[in-house]
């Protein structure tokens, strides 16, 4: 039984008025695999959990077409102690992201009433939302997923104009990498969520985010389910990539992912009886790349590539040639911004001090807003 079936039943009875490098395997990635409970830092009624009514018209959707070098930045609404930030703090944070030249902000989950609080702040700062649904160790059938989908539905039904704030919905962040889902269960969940949000008027892309190697290894199952290829690409976890080469490394990985789903479609067509040779697959892939660069692709089957996590830590222990540090972070971020910034979500707004230090002691040290200011 699909986790959002109850929502679909509700929607059915409700009337809404709506306006190539080698496959390198990283040691690990910055997976957000723990979400703090909803504990608020202040009892003040303006805290993040308070109901928020949006009345101003939203900005025009970006349609994944950001300004040069700075598409989006990740944001987690937690204090260093793991409490929910106040709405005033969130508003200040989101304003800084907008002032730094970004077009969108990425959330990993909907807790702390983040869809509403960050949504309100994003509206005031003319930013788009990349909404995330957290898939935990409880798996793809967890009731928490239904709750998160409900948060998005509530946000949209609160005001039909809220639809234009949502640029992208990401179902799970490295759920396969963390063994929280199987490829088929994750693909089913992506399709299930898409069906739900389509019924409330959202027609934008729905996808999931995995590390490069994980997406490549599971492309046969994931490609038919996603609207865009979304991968977390963190060069620091590749020991042979120094900060000065971070931009070219990420660009090469994105180039390898470009056209991947078209290859999958061709192979699957072959299995269904169509005669497709390796030569024709490569010809089609080359053609897709040319058309995409010219901005001529409109069919849903021709799926663009988006880097959902790109960054470099400012402190920690070296991973071979990948050395963390303030200067190294600036070097890496400048290179990645120049090479792929318009198709990239940079991580993260501030250091996530509520997390454990993790491998190389870097999990708390990815804050980078100062680099862009």
Over its length of 373 residues, how does the chain's per-residue pLDDT go in tens digits?
A: 444 444 444 444 443 333 333 333 333 345 444 454 444 443 332 333 333 233 333 333 333 333 358 999 999 999 999 999 999 999 999 999 999 999 999 999 999 999 999 999 999 999 999 999 999 999 999 999 999 999 999 999 998 789 999 999 999 999 999 999 999 999 999 999 999 999 999 999 999 999 999 999 999 999 999 999 999 999 999 999 999 999 999 999 999 999 899 888 887 776 665 555 666 666 656 655 655 554 444 344 478 999 999 999 999 999 999 999 999 999 999 999 999 999 999 999 999 999 999 999 999 999 999 999 9
Catalytic, 353? Answer no
Residue 185 is assigned to a structural domain of this protein? yes
Q: Are residues 52 and 188 in the same domain?
A: yes
Q: What is the pLDDT of residue 159?
A: 86
d(CA 219, CA 261): 7
- Mark whether 176 and 248 lie in a shared domain: yes
* 34-63 pLDDT per residue, tens: 454 444 443 332 333 333 233 333 333 333
Q: What CATH code is carried by the domain that includes residue 191?
A: 3.20.20.80
Whether residue 193 sits in one domain with residue 107? yes
Asked, for residue 4, whether it belongs to a domain, the answer is no
Instruction: State residue 296's pLDDT score.
Output: 40
Residue 58 lies in a domain: yes
What total of structural domains would you count in the chain?
2
The answer to whether residues 327 and 187 belong to one domain is yes
Place of tokens 């989006």: 72
Whole-number Å distance between alpha carbons of 307 and 251:
10
pLDDT at position 183: 98
Q: Are 113 and 235 in a shared domain?
A: yes
Spatial separation of the C-alpha atoms in residues 211 and 125, rounded to whole Å: 30
Residue pair 322/246 in contact (Cβ under 8 Å)? The answer is no
The answer as to whether 250 is a domain residue is: yes
Judgement on whether residues 171 and 95 belong to the same structural domain of the protein: yes
Residue 19 lies in a domain: no
Active site residue 174: yes
Are 91 and 152 contained in the same domain?
Answer: yes
| 12 within some domain | no
> In the numeric block, which tokens belong to residue 286?
């080359």
- 314 lies in the same domain as 338: yes
Could you list the residue range(s) of the whole structural domain that residue 272 is in? 265-302
- Say yes or no: 215 and 327 in one domain: yes
Same domain, 142 and 278: no
Distance between CA atoms of residues 250 and 69, nearest Å = 14
Confidence (pLDDT) at 267: 79
Q: Are residues 212 and 274 in the same domain?
A: no
Q: Tens of pLDDT along 67-85?
A: 358 999 999 999 999 999 9
For the whole model, what pTM was predicted?
A: 0.79
Q: Which of 174, 210, 262, 263 is catalytic?
A: 174
Q: Is residue 8 situated within a structural domain?
A: no
Q: Is the Cβ–Cβ distance between 236 and 324 less than 8 Å? A: yes
**Of 258, 237, 257, residue with least CA distance to 246:** 237
Q: How far apart are CA 150 and CA 171, in angstroms?
A: 14
Residues 289 and 144 in one domain: no
The residue annotated as part of the active site, out of 210, 262, 263, 309, is 309
| Domain end (from 302, 329, 364) | 302
Instruction: Note whether 108 and 129 are within 8 A (CB).
Output: no
Q: Note whether 78 and 350 are within 8 A (CB).
A: no
Q: What is residue 262's predicted lDDT score, i.e. its pLDDT?
A: 86
Q: Tell whether 196 is covered by a domain.
A: yes
Burial of 118-141, coded b for 16+ CB within 10 Å and e otherwise, reads bbbbbbebebbbbbbbbbbeebbe
Radius of gyration of the chain (CA): 20
Residue 45: what pLDDT? 29
CA 22 to chain centre: 24
């Amino acid at each position: 039984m699909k986790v959002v079936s109850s929502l679909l039943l509700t929607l059915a009875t409700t009337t809404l008025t709506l306006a190539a490098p080698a496959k390198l395997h990283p040691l690990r990635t910055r997976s957000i695999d723990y979400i703090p409970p909803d504990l608020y830092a202040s009892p003040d009624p303006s805290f993040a959990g308070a109901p928020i009514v949006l009345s101003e018209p939203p900005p025009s959707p970006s349609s994944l077409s950001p300004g040069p070098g700075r598409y989006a930045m990740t944001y987690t609404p937690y204090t260093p102690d793991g409490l929910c930030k106040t709405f005033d703090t969130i508003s200040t944070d989101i304003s800084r992201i907008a002032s730094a030249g970004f077009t969108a902000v990425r959330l990993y989950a909907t807790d702390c009433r983040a869809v509403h609080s960050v949504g309100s702040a994003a509206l005031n700062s003319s930013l788009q939302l990349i909404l995330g649904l957290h898939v935990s160790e409880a798996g793809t059938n967890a009731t928490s997923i239904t709750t998160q989908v409900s948060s998005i539905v509530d946000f949209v039904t609160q005001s039909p104009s809220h639809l234009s704030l949502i640029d992208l919905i990401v179902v799970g962040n490295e759920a396969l990498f963390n063994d929280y889902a199987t490829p088929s269960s994750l693909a089913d969940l992506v399709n299930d969520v898409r069906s739900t949000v389509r019924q409330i008027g959202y027609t934008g892309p729905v996808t999931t985010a995995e590390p490069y190697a994980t997406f490549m290894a599971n492309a046969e199952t994931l490609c038919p389910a996603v609207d865009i290829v979304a991968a977390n690409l963190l060069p620091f976890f590749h020991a042979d990539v120094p900060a000065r080469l971070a931009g070219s490394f990420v660009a090469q990985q994105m180039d390898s992912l470009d056209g991947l789903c078209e290859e999958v479609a061709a192979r699957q067509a072959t299995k269904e009886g169509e005669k497709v040779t390796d030569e024709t697959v490569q010809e089609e892939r080359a053609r897709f790349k040319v058309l995409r660069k010219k901005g001529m692709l409109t069919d849903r089957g021709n799926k663009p590539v988006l880097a959902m996590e790109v960054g470099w830590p400012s402190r920690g222990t070296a991973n071979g040639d990948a050395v963390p540090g303030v200067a190294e972070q600036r070097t890496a971020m400048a290179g990645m911004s120049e090479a792929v910034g318009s198709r990239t979500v940079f991580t993260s707004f501030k250091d996530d001090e509520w997390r454990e230090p993790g491998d190389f002691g870097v999990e708390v040290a990815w804050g980078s807003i100062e680099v862009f200011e």
